[in-house]
Structure 1
Amino acid sequence: MTERAGAITFKGNPMTLVGDEITVGQKAPDFQLRANDFSVKSLADYAGKVKIISIIPSLDTPVCDAQTRHFNTDAASLGDGVVILTISVDLPPAQKRWCGAAGIDAVECLSDYYDHSFGSAYGVRVKELGLLARQIVVLDKDDTVKYVEVVPEIAQEPNYDAAIAAAKELL
């Protein structure tokens, strides 16, 4: 499996990403992630919708908290043709607890805790931390990658406006 040493940083320290980098124009890799009830979700569960995939290290950190809340608010302007998925390695019960406490109702949180296959397939598994890097991927209704932002420093927020604009262009 591909390893990209120094692809991102965490608090200024170089980190290695495991897996091939996702690029605009490619078909998105399918995934098997766990929902809050431990059911398995894949791309097929969101067929026919534009997908904003917000990838984060952990909901229980300030930047990930802010990112998920921001996309939850943005969801209202996007309508039913867009689904926003937040993916981390947090356990499903922790995601459920956090979403309930934060009032998150327009973003679906999914977990890659089970086998970390999503992180490797999307090239965002941080080797040194066992977490996912911060990345935004926008897929069209046919699961083609139309926008990617790999945030170079894990502790920084992504460009929300660019991701939302990319999703709106696909509606």
Structure 2
Amino acid sequence: MQITMKGNPIVLLGKKVEVGDPAPHFTVVGQDISEVKCHQFMGKKRLISVVPSIDTGVCEQQTRRFNEEASKIADAVILTISMDLPFAQARWCGAAGIDKIQVLSDHRDASFGNAYGVLIEGLRLLTRAIFVIDANDKVTYVEYVPEVTDHPDYEKALEALKSV
């Protein structure tokens, strides 16, 4: 599948994740600058919402939508991951009232971007994508949004999370 940004083709680095794959390992940074490792979420079903920059229109709407839905889904963790600096994420989340999901930064070494095949070559941004992972650490849903500036399929992603 070809991914575009404003109609222009982009190249993604890393290995594309497929349904049925074991969830790739990654280390990201929390808003308090602490290291957050994927194994911290083992045993829980989770939705990972990937956005290029939290402080832009579609990314903001995507993050707000999953924050609103988070309390409606039992035993699930929702993560939003971007390359934004943790300080900028904390400022934005505080102003936007984002308090039901974890917003994490991949800025340090692009561990998540490379592991999930979402790092945009040459831009140091992540492409828009959604991943659902079950409690056994298996990928059960994947959406690489074909046009980075478009919204993901929220309903399909949420249904995938609820059905795990």
TM over 0.5: yes
Task: Give unpaired runs (5+ residues) of structure 1.
Answer: 1-5
Per the alignment, residue 56 of structure 1 pairs with 51
1:112-143 per-residue CA deviation (whole Å, 9 max, x = no partner) reads: 00011210110000003210000000000011
1:135 to 129, 143, 156: 129
Q: In 1, Cα distance between the equivalents of 2:16 and 2:96?
A: 31
Whether 1:125 aligns to 2:125 is: no
Q: In 2, Cα distance between the equivalents of 1:99 and 1:8?
A: 28
Whether 1:27 aligns to 2:22 is: yes
Letter in 2 for 1:56: V
Per the alignment, residue 152 of structure 1 pairs with 146
Report how far residue 47 of structure 1 moved.
Answer: 2.0
Q: In 2, Cα distance between the equivalents of 1:35 and 1:132?
A: 17
Q: In 2, Cα distance between the equivalents of 1:147 and 1:33?
A: 21
Q: Secondary structure at the match of 1:157?
A: coil
- Pairs aligned (count): 164
Letter in 2 for 1:154: V
1:7-64 per-residue CA deviation (whole Å, 9 max, x = no partner) reads: 3100001100011110000101111100001111112211211010000100010000
Letter in 2 for 1:104: I
Contact 1:15/1:128 (<8 A) preserved:
no
1:44-88 per-residue CA deviation (whole Å, 9 max, x = no partner) reads: 211211010000100010000000000001112102x10000000
Per the alignment, residue 86 of structure 2 pairs with 92
Per the alignment, residue 3 of structure 1 pairs with none
Contact 1:7/1:17 (<8 A) preserved:
no
Letter in 2 for 1:136: I
Q: Secondary structure at the match of 2:46?
A: strand
Contact 1:34/1:110 (<8 A) preserved:
yes
Task: Give unpaired runs (5+ residues) of structure 2.
Answer: none
Q: Which runs of 4+ in 1 moved over 6 A?
A: none
